[in-house]
Amino acid sequence: MVKEMERAGLPTVHMCTVVPISLTVGANRIVPAIAIPHPLGNPVLDHEEEKKLRRGLVEKALKSLETEVDGQTVFED
Amino acid sequence: MIKIVHYINQFYAGVGGEDKADVGPEKMATIPPISNALKAQFKGEADVVATVYCGDSYFAENTEAALESILAYIEEEKPDLVVTGPAFNAGRYGVAAGNIAAAVTEKLGIKSISGMYIENPGADMFKGKTYIVSTRNSAVGMKDALPLMAKLALKLVKGEEIGSAEEEGYISRGVRVPVWEKERGARRAVNMLLNKLNGEEYITEFPMPMFDKVDPNAAIKDITKAKVALVTSGGIVPKGNPDHIESSSASHYGKYDIDGVSDLTAETFQTAHGGYDPVYANDDADRVLPVDIMRDLEKEGKIGKLHRYYYSTVGNGTSVANSKKYAEEIAKELVADGVDAVILTST
Amino acid sequence: MKLELGLIKIEDIQFASESKIDGTTLFVDKETVKKIVLEDEVLVSCDVDIAKPGESVRITPVKDVIEPRVKVEGTGGVFPGWMHKVDTVGSGRTNVLKGCAVVTAGKVVGFQEGIIDMSGEGAKYTPFSKLNNLVLIIEPDESKDQHTYEKALRLAGLRVATYLGELARELSAKEVKTFESCTIPEGIEKYPGLPRVAYVLMLQSQGLLHDTYVYGVDIKQSLTTMLMPTEIFDGAIISGNCVSACDKNTTFHHQNNPVVEELFAEHGKTINFVGVIITNENVYLADKERSSNWSAKMCKFLGVDGVIISQEGFGNPDTDLIMNCKKIEAEGIKTVIITDEYAGRDGASQSLADADKAADAVVTGGNANVVIKLPKMDKIIGHIEAVDIIAGGWDGSLQEDGSIEAELQVITGATNEMGFNCYSAR
């Protein structure tokens, strides 16, 4: 899916847990997520902490969209 | 007697479905029905001496630790070969099955085979490191898969010559295998041309390598002015799943208005995805589709605008061809609506 | 244009005091053959030997393989531009000594030549293990440069093949094959419903030991042009190359071009075989662009529906192949390409240096990097020490016990890209 978005001219960031699959399917901007059933959350945290975690990930995703990349890039930190 | 160890997931081990996908690796006291079915295919030439399983989510999230325990369980048995799967089109199971088979061969020097559907991501990731028998996309293909896997397993253990992917039924390893044809190349070329001219099927002897990578688009200059859209393959839908998006092998995608929505709650949204434990997403769908954060960022002026619609599909078991088709349609609409960038979340 | 090939079956070669064909035996006067070779003052010594199918014999380094033929009716003579004037060949009748060949061997410019084994593992891969071969081992005047020597050796082979072909001038063949091609208006009138098909024959043209000649012209100096298919059977194209012997077309391959034969087999039945476009594989990018532009332009000009493109060699010619394919497909013409592969010894590497999605119908002659073991042979014709330095061999390829471990590419004609063989890869 990511590839088709890119092909249409939309810079796209893929937020996912299984990064190798994302690399195989050809995403260019990749932000690793937390876990498969809750990529952007963690139920063991309380609501506020969890939101903080999610905000951090989304901000990283936005940052990746503002970053020029040459090829497939995983935004680790 | 040839000794085989079988690796399967928690479902085939009889432990449970998605609700048990987080269980860790175990070696079973008695081998389960699927391992017995595999054993029957060896017709007395080989025995399944042990079955090891692991929850699919557990393996995906704790790959290194899980792999270590699984390899230890396998090594104890000193098998001649390890069979993993068949995983059909179950993505996490396929990745685990491929990964374990590859590791068994690479780290323990033990031969291995796996089985899965060609579009399973595990196939592409591990086809070069083990033999992956090509199966159908669901367990309906079990009765075809097991005999092929058993036959190839015996050949490997006996050190017999392995034929081409086509002959043996495994997914092409990306490795070129010598073959002798019945007809000379020039005749084959003429036959191929006649088929091509007549609009009939022809099979190239050398598929051109996939160079289907898309160059990254230029970065967004100023994200605070950009209109950002959310797309997910995690199946987040309004409560009640009004469009009846299938839990697996989705035949369509959903487009949903989130105008005025600032938080996805258990009362308003859920997941339609059947490939992972839905509890967390049903409890708070923001964990998959971060509408709450995007709204906050929009209010604070950190992004220009959150696009009024989000798009949702279910990645689980959906063919690559279909995913591509949905994505093309979605992308077209997003471009038409003046969207500048996309965040795509997957489970 | 109509050509009959009279097939004179040769099942044995023997030395004798007089050269002649008696029944199915070719008798050869060794001294006369030597004299014919040494007519050229560049060549200082020549030995002549015979290698038959099934014998424990290894020939190396092989330079060229040539089928003796003689033109008995029609204009011109075989190997026009070299052995005869440049009159247009390809019509009338040509007698063919079927089942034998002239093989030239010798030190040949120092390195990079092929192997022909007459029995064992290696014999499976080369079509020439099935022939009765008259082998010429030719050594040069060391003071001459490589180009001079290469040319002298090339022509010596043609002279001997022509001499042997002449022995069949008065013979009447029991088996005659007829090939008839038509002009464009004739074809349109006779076969209005059949798809029009051309053959794009790519010829190596990269320099010393990589050249091909058409009617005496070095094809690297020519723009893409056309031949009537039957001209090829009369030796219109001759080989001047043998480096990486597995996928180089010997003169024998040209004389027996299998694509031309198979297209003729369908001509008037399922297709209308329009003609052969010959194009080069030069070393400059501009040449590659220009030549492939002309291939596509000529295909369009001829109004064909489909083409078969055969490559010669590998590496940078992969680009010529892909350019031809892509540009011809872009004209709405359907293509099938014939190539071979260099996928590494384990078969896991990228097979071709270039690729394009337009090339969706590929026939392959196999992976030239496959490592093969060739048993020791009782008799060596040529220079066995060259095995360590020929393309596909490596230092140590020649084992102490006389066996050889090397890549398939050392075998003459093993992965031929005209589709001469049944060997392939998946």
* Residue B53: per-residue pLDDT: 97
Contacts (Cβ under 8 Å, ≥6 apart) of C322? C352, C354, C355, C356, C358, C359
pLDDT tens readout for residues B189-206:
999 999 999 999 999 999
- 300-339 in chain C: CB under 8 A from chain B: 305-308, 310, 334-336, 338-339
Do B186 and C418 lie within an 8 Å CB cutoff? yes
The alpha carbon of residue C325 is apart from the nearest alpha carbon of chain B, in Å, by: 13
| Ramachandran angles phi, psi of C57, nearest 5° | -135, 140
For residue C222, CA distances in Å to B241, C230, C251 come to: 69, 20, 19
| Ramachandran angles phi, psi of B187, nearest 5° | -65, -40
Contacts of A65 in chain B (CB under 8 A): 219-220, 223, 226, 228, 341, 343
Percent of chain C with pLDDT over 90: 77
Residue among A10, A57, A73 minimizing CB distance to B331: A10
Interface size B-C, in CB pairs within 8 Å, comes to: 141
Residue C354 confidence class, pLDDT cut points 50, 70, 90: confident
Sole residue written with tokens 């398939």 = C408
Contacts of A13 in chain B (CB under 8 A): 341-344
SS3 C21: strand
Q: Once rounded to an integer, what is the mean pLDDT over residues C147-163?
A: 93
CATH value at residue B32: 3.40.50.280
Residue B250 confidence class, pLDDT cut points 50, 70, 90: low
Do B281 and A14 lie within an 8 Å CB cutoff? no
Interface membership of C263 toward B (CB under 8 Å): yes
State the total domains in chain A.
1
Look at residue B248 and tell me whether its pLDDT is greater than 90: no
Sole residue written with tokens 């023997």 = C14
* Residue C70: per-residue pLDDT: 98
Distance, CA of B339 to CA of B334 (rounded, Å): 5
Contacts of A68 in chain B (CB under 8 A): 218-219
**What is the pTM (predicted TM-score) of this model?**
0.69
Per the CB < 8 A criterion, the answer to whether C218 and C209 are in contact is no
Look at residue B247 and tell me whether its pLDDT is greater than 90: no
Interface membership of A48 toward B (CB under 8 Å): no
Residue numbers of the domain that contains B242: 223-345
* Residue C285: per-residue pLDDT: 80
Q: Once rounded to an integer, what is the mean pLDDT over residues C346-369?
A: 87
Residue A76 confidence class, pLDDT cut points 50, 70, 90: confident
Distance, CA of B94 to CA of C349 (rounded, Å): 25
Distance, CA of A57 to CA of C13 (rounded, Å): 82
Does residue B148 sit in the same domain as residue B278? no
Q: Do chains C and A touch (3 or more CB pairs under 8 A)?
A: no
Interface membership of B196 toward C (CB under 8 Å): yes
Give the mean pLDDT of chain C: 93
Spans of all domains in chain C: 2-410
The alpha carbon of residue A24 is apart from the nearest alpha carbon of chain B, in Å, by: 7
Does residue B234 sit in the same domain as residue B127? no
Look at residue B317 and tell me whether its pLDDT is greater than 60: no
The two beta strands, B131-135 and B111-117, are: parallel
Percent of chain B with pLDDT over 90: 78
Do B341 and A12 lie within an 8 Å CB cutoff? yes
Query: Does residue B61 or residue B273 have the better pLDDT?
Result: B61
* Greatest extent of chain B over all pairs of C-alpha atoms, in Å: 71
C55, with CB counted inside 10 A (0-12, 13-18, 19+), is middle
Nearest CA in chain B to C305: B197
Residue C316 confidence class, pLDDT cut points 50, 70, 90: confident
- What's the token pair of residue C310? 């055969």
- 310-339 in chain B: CB under 8 A from chain C: none
* Residue C343: per-residue pLDDT: 85
Active-site choice (C100, C182, C242, C246): C242
Interface membership of B182 toward C (CB under 8 Å): yes
Does residue B268 sit in the same domain as residue B340? yes
Residue C350 confidence class, pLDDT cut points 50, 70, 90: confident
- What's the token pair of residue B40? 């029957």
* Residue B316: per-residue pLDDT: 61
| Ramachandran angles phi, psi of C178, nearest 5° | -115, 130
pLDDT tens readout for residues C225-281:
999 999 999 999 999 887 788 999 999 999 999 999 999 999 999 999 999 999 999
Do A17 and B346 lie within an 8 Å CB cutoff? yes
* ipTM for the assembly: 0.97
> Among this protein's residues, is C242 annotated catalytic?
yes
B197, with CB counted inside 10 A (0-12, 13-18, 19+), is buried
Interface membership of A13 toward B (CB under 8 Å): yes
Residue B209 confidence class, pLDDT cut points 50, 70, 90: confident
| Ramachandran angles phi, psi of B189, nearest 5° | -65, -45
Sole residue written with tokens 């496959």 = C370
Interface membership of B189 toward C (CB under 8 Å): yes
Residue among C261, C364, C422 minimizing CB distance to B206: C364
* Residue B275: per-residue pLDDT: 62
Do B346 and A67 lie within an 8 Å CB cutoff? no
Interface membership of C212 toward B (CB under 8 Å): no
SS3 C231: helix
Residue numbers of the domain that contains A34: 2-74
Do B185 and C334 lie within an 8 Å CB cutoff? no
DSSP B218: P
The alpha carbon of residue A45 is apart from the nearest alpha carbon of chain B, in Å, by: 12
Look at residue C112 and tell me whether its pLDDT is greater than 60: no
Residue B293 confidence class, pLDDT cut points 50, 70, 90: very high
Amino acid at A32: P
Distance, CA of B304 to CA of B226 (rounded, Å): 4
Strand intervals (E) in C99-236:
100-105, 114-117, 132-140, 175-180, 196-204, 210-214, 217-218, 225-227
State the total domains in chain B.
2
Look at residue B210 and tell me whether its pLDDT is greater than 70: no
Do B178 and C425 lie within an 8 Å CB cutoff? yes
- 226-265 in chain B: CB under 8 A from chain C: none
Nearest CA in chain C to B174: C348
Q: Tell me if B213 is assigned to some domain.
A: no
Do B186 and C419 lie within an 8 Å CB cutoff? yes
Give the mean pLDDT of chain A: 90
The alpha carbon of residue B81 is apart from the nearest alpha carbon of chain C, in Å, by: 22
Do C361 and B206 lie within an 8 Å CB cutoff? no
Percent of chain B with pLDDT over 70: 95
Look at residue C111 and tell me whether its pLDDT is greater than 60: no
Q: Which chains pack against C, by 3+ Cβ pairs within 8 A?
A: B
Interface membership of C121 toward B (CB under 8 Å): no
Q: Once rounded to an integer, what is the mean pLDDT over residues B151-169?
A: 90
* Residue B274: per-residue pLDDT: 64
Look at residue C132 and tell me whether its pLDDT is greater than 80: yes
Q: Once rounded to an integer, what is the mean pLDDT over residues C322-347?
A: 93
Residue among B297, B335, B347 minimizing CB distance to A10: B335
Q: Which helix (H) or strand (E) holds C160?
A: helix C146-166
